[in-house]
């Protein structure tokens, strides 16, 4: 099977090898992003929501204690908002919370530029491979002169087109994954704004005994 794979890649030339490498990198990036976002709590909101509700009802100490051991992105932003709201002026507190939120979004977006680059260049590498393959096929046709074999020409053309198809096959899942990860980031940005606004708009009037 390994020999068949190598033979197939050799048919497409260097461009197909490059695309094969990009496909491995794409799969690795997608799996790593899924693990990273899960580790950062991108899909966990319950604990932070509970803490903000407690904060709004006046149970400040309980709210902060509930987030003390939490390391997710939402918890990080809300803990910063709660601490800033108690220690700073309203404007400074909001600025500090915005700074933390921007850092959290930047961390959540790590790796997306690489996916975007792969989605952009994979079809271009495939097209380049096809163009080079077509040039080679027509050069062979010219050299053969009147003895040109249409079957051989057709074989050269379909081999050249392999790289275009392969480039699209890599770019499509990369684009789909990028769009989904972007939507996760958009959701995080919305939640950061919503949770922080609730911390600042209705701060608790008392602390727990």
pLDDT of residue 160: 76
* In contact, 57 and 124? CB cutoff 8 Å: no
- Let me know if 128 is exposed, middle or buried by CB neighbors in 10 A (0-12, 13-18, 19+): middle
DSSP state of 146: G
- What is the C-alpha to C-alpha distance for residues 37 and 151, in angstroms, rounded to an integer? 51
pLDDT for residue 159 is more than 50: yes
pLDDT of residue 1: 60
| Rg of the chain taking only CA atoms, in angstroms | 27
pLDDT in tens, 95-121: 999 999 999 999 999 999 999 999 999
- What is the C-alpha to C-alpha distance for residues 56 and 50, in angstroms, rounded to an integer? 10
pTM value is: 0.83
Annotated domain spans of the chain:
17-201
pLDDT above 70 covers what percent of the chain? 84
Residue spans of alpha helices (H) in 88-111: 90-108
């Amino acid at each position: 099977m390994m020999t068949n794979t190598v033979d197939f890649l050799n048919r497409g030339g260097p461009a197909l090898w490059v695309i094969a490498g990009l496909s491995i990198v794409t799969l690795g990036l997608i799996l790593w992003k899924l693990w990273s976002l899960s580790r950062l709590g991108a899909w966990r909101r319950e604990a932070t929501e509970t803490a903000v509700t407690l904060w709004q009802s006046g149970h400040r100490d309980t709210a902060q204690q509930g987030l003390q051991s939490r390391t997710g992105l939402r918890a990080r932003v809300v803990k910063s908002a709660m601490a800033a709201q108690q220690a700073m002026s309203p404007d400074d507190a909001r600025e500090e919370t915005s700074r933390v939120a921007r850092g959290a979004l930047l961390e959540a977006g790590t790796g997306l530029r690489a996916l975007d680059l792969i989605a952009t260049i994979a079809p271009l590498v495939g097209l380049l491979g096809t163009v080079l393959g077509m040039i080679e096929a027509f050069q062979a046709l010219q050299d053969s002169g009147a003895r040109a074999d249409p079957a051989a020409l057709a074989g050269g053309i379909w081999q050249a087109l392999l790289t275009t198809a392969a480039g699209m096959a890599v770019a499509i899942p990369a684009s789909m994954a990028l769009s989904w990860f972007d939507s996760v980031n958009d959701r995080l940005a919305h939640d950061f704004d919503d949770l922080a606004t609730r911390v600042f708009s209705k701060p608790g009037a008392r602390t727990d005994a």
